[in-house]
Each structure stands twice: as C-alpha cells, then as structure tokens.
Amino acid sequence: MSGPPTIALSLRINGQAYRVFAEPRRLLSDVLREDCGLTGTHVGCEHGVCGACTILLDGAPARACLLYAVQAQGSDITTIEAFGTDRLSPVQQALHEEHGLQCGFCTPGIVVTMEAWLSENPDPTESEVREALSGNLCRCTGYHNIVSAVMKAAARRRESAA
C-alpha cells in the first residue's frame, strides 16, 4: 500500500530554484524546513498567530504555516536566509546593538516582517512600529528593545537612502 500521492513542485526561494515532491496538503513551512533545508523559518503556533514562520511571498509578508506549498508555485519566496548574507541587514544589526534578542525563536519572523514593513514605512513613529510588530509574538524581551532597534534601523535606512 502506498502513501498519499505527491506532486512535483518548482519553487523559487531566495533566488534559487528548488524542485521537491510533496503531498498537495503539505505546508510551505514544512517544505522549506524539511525538503529545502531552510530551517530559519520557525514554526511556533501553527495557526498564523505568532509570526515565527513569516516569509515574503512576492515581496509581501506571509505566514508559511498557513500556506500549502503548492500555493507558492510561481511566486518568489524570500526566507530569513536571504537577509544578512554578506553583512547583517539594518534590522539585524540594530537588534544586535539594542539587545533586542534573547532566545531568538521569534527573531527570523520579526526581521522578515520589519525589513518589508520599513520598505513601505521609512519614517515610522514608535506607536506605528509597535502596531506593525503586533503580529509577531516574543515571550522574552517585552518588545522595548525590539522597538528601539526598529526605530534605529529605520533611521539608518533613511540615512543610507539620502
């Protein structure tokens, strides 16, 4: 007796082509981690609430635990592994400097979310940053240092654009 049928998937992740075979009901988060070896996409709540699995799908933040891998065919997927390859991204550097990291479980989702959000919101207020972070749960930091880091990253991005 054979298992459930699998289908061939062609995914474009971080600029690279991946070909995997997966069941149509397989979650993108599982395919990224288990089939592609991209374990930076964390799986926390598996309900799309915590934000740990946030990736960019065609440039927009999306929850990989809520998407079937087949839904991502033909899209450009960006995971945390695409950030900070040569040097830390502005958000990563600021998180380091402002001590916005503790256990690190939430960090990939926060970095992906905030890098995309800052591209659309280059000069945010602290209140706007807190609202934008509301979809990413962190149990360790209390958010104060994360907010400071995002504000610092925003300032640096503005300076480098000038």
pLDDT tens digits along 36-57: 999 999 999 899 999 999 999 9
Considering the domain 7-82 in this protein, what is its CATH number? 3.10.20.30
| Residue pLDDT, tens place only, 6-25 | 999 999 999 999 999 999 99
For residue 98, pLDDT over 90 is answered with: yes
Q: How far is CA 89 from CA 68, 73, 93, 109, 157, in A?
A: 28, 27, 6, 14, 10
Cα–Cα distance for residue pair 151/95, rounded to 1 Å: 10
Residue 17's DSSP bridge partners are 12
Q: pTM here?
A: 0.94
Q: Which CATH architecture has domain 90-161?
A: Orthogonal Bundle (1.10)
Q: What residue segments make up the domains of the chain, in order of their start? A: 7-82, 90-161
